[in-house]
Amino acid sequence: MGRCVYCHSVVTKDEDHCYTCGDRVPQQTKPVAVKQSPVSALTNLVFLASLGFTAYCFFGEHKLSLPVTLTISSALLLIRILAERLVNKNLN
């Protein structure tokens, strides 16, 4: 259900005219499907695996310092964001 543009009364999908004010109701267009980037699932999986490995290195027997762990995590996040943007740019 939508609303009338002029009087904001409730209008169903099948109605052409508003019941309250009588004005024509613009028909809504069908939503356009958004293309999924083909690398997205793989990128997310690799990112989560690398974050898990970084957490293991921080809490494991041979510990990494907190600044090194945060640097690695932020670098991985930056690489993931840049990879997503590159793939989406190439699709367009």
Banded pLDDT at 91 (limits 50, 70, 90): low
Mean pLDDT for the stretch of residues 81-85: 80
Q: State the pTM of this model.
A: 0.45
Mean pLDDT for the stretch of residues 7-18: 81
Structural domain spans, the chain: 1-30, 40-91
The answer to whether the CB of 43 falls within 8 A of the CB of 83 is yes
Mean pLDDT of the chain: 75
The answer to whether the CB of 3 falls within 8 A of the CB of 15 is no
pLDDT tens, position by position, 27-79: 665 566 666 555 667 777 877 887 787 778 778 777 777 787 788 778 888 88
Q: Which residues contact 44 (CB under 8 A, 6 or more apart)?
A: 80
Residue 3 pairs with which residues in a beta bridge? Answer: 10
Q: How far apart are CA 46 and CA 27, in angstroms?
A: 43
Q: Which residues contact 58 (CB under 8 A, 6 or more apart)?
A: 64, 66, 69
Model pLDDT, residue 65 = 78
Please name which of 74, 80, 82, 92 lies closest in space to residue 45, comparing C-alpha atoms.
80
